[in-house]
Amino acid sequence: MLVSELKPFEDILEYLDGEKNVFLVGCKGCAEACQTGGEAQVLEMKQKLEEEEKAITGYTIIDFACEKALVASKLRGHWSEVMDADSLLVMSCGIGVQATSAVIDKVVHPACNTISLGGAVGTWPGSERCRQCGDCVLDLTAGICPLTACTKGLLNGPCGGAKDGKCEFEPEVRDCGWHLIYERLKKLGQLDKMREIAPLKDRSKMQPPKHLRSTIMWALEQEEREVAPR
């Protein structure tokens, strides 16, 4: 199971600044289990965004948003709603955000911070990786994670080591992550995002709180909390 938490709503509103129409993507995998991207949360997000005068063109909830093929086929089922949107808000872990970004040429925003991959893992990812940094930066980087796509995990752009779009580490096989980010930002008309100096990474957020080290325990506690009020 992968544990994520919703980003503060103000952060999400900031991402959506200047955009009117939004398509929501939820996840029935781990995100639902940790109550950040299941149907209830997606509907709640829809309502909150509508209160902020955003138009929700539609939503879908995917069994494992980390799997690109599933994301692509689900989005095809909502094609006109997706096309009508300025951007997609993805309520899943970092892999789901990247998988969505990989299958559609639209701006994709993360709604969650990914905290921990542990316990019974339900993820089904392709080439996308999430470092569970607890402070997702995918909004700045066109839905491609600089921590995992860049070998050095750089946050402010490419180093001088990339040649022909390839990384100095394993240049035969490995793309320069920042080359991919640059190309995609350019395609989406978002190059200004690359001009912002990235905030210093708070590495302490990479250490999940002790109670999350065992996600099974966490799930049980979650269950108890829900049962208790009844």
Taking CB under 8 A as the binding criterion, the range among 71-79, 107-115, 119-127, 190-198 that sits at the site for other proteins is 190-198
For residue 5, state whether it binds other proteins (rule: CB under 8 A). no
For residue 189, state whether it binds other proteins (rule: CB under 8 A). no
Taking CB under 8 A as the binding criterion, the range among 32-40, 87-95, 152-160, 217-225 that sits at the site for other proteins is 152-160
Of the pair 148, 215, the CB lying nearest other proteins is at: 148
Under a CB-based contact definition with an 8 Å cutoff, are residues 193 and 141 in contact? yes
Total number of residues that touch other proteins (CB under 8 A) = 29
3-state helix, strand, coil in the chain (%, to 5): 40, 15, 45
Under a CB-based contact definition with an 8 Å cutoff, are residues 162 and 168 in contact? yes
Q: What pairing do the DSSP bridges indicate for beta strands 112-117 and 2-6?
A: antiparallel
Residues 6+ apart with CB under 8 A from 10: none
Candidates 48, 187, 203, 205; binder of other proteins (CB under 8 A) is: 203
Site map for other proteins, 104-143, x if CB under 8 A?
A: ----------------------------------------
For residue 9, state whether it binds other proteins (rule: CB under 8 A). no
Taking CB under 8 A as the binding criterion, the range among 10-18, 51-59, 87-95, 188-196 that sits at the site for other proteins is 188-196
Q: Based on the number of CB atoms within 10 Å of its own CB, is 153 exposed (0-12), middle (13-18) or buried (19 or more)?
A: middle
Of the pair 33, 185, the CB lying nearest other proteins is at: 185
| Separation CA 173–CA 57 (nearest Å) | 39
Smallest separation (angstroms) from other proteins to the CB of 135: 14
Smallest separation (angstroms) from other proteins to the CB of 145: 15
Site map for other proteins, 158-187, x if CB under 8 A?
A: xxxxxxx--xxxx-------xx--x-----
Smallest separation (angstroms) from other proteins to the CB of 194: 5
Q: What pairing do the DSSP bridges indicate for beta strands 21-27 and 2-6?
A: unpaired
| Separation CA 96–CA 102 (nearest Å) | 10
| Separation CA 112–CA 94 (nearest Å) | 8
| Separation CA 84–CA 210 (nearest Å) | 43
Candidates 20, 156, 205, 213; binder of other proteins (CB under 8 A) is: 156
Q: How many residues does the chain have?
A: 230
Applying CB under 8 A, the residues found at the interface with other proteins are: 151-164, 167-170, 178-179, 182, 191, 194-195, 197-198, 200-201, 203
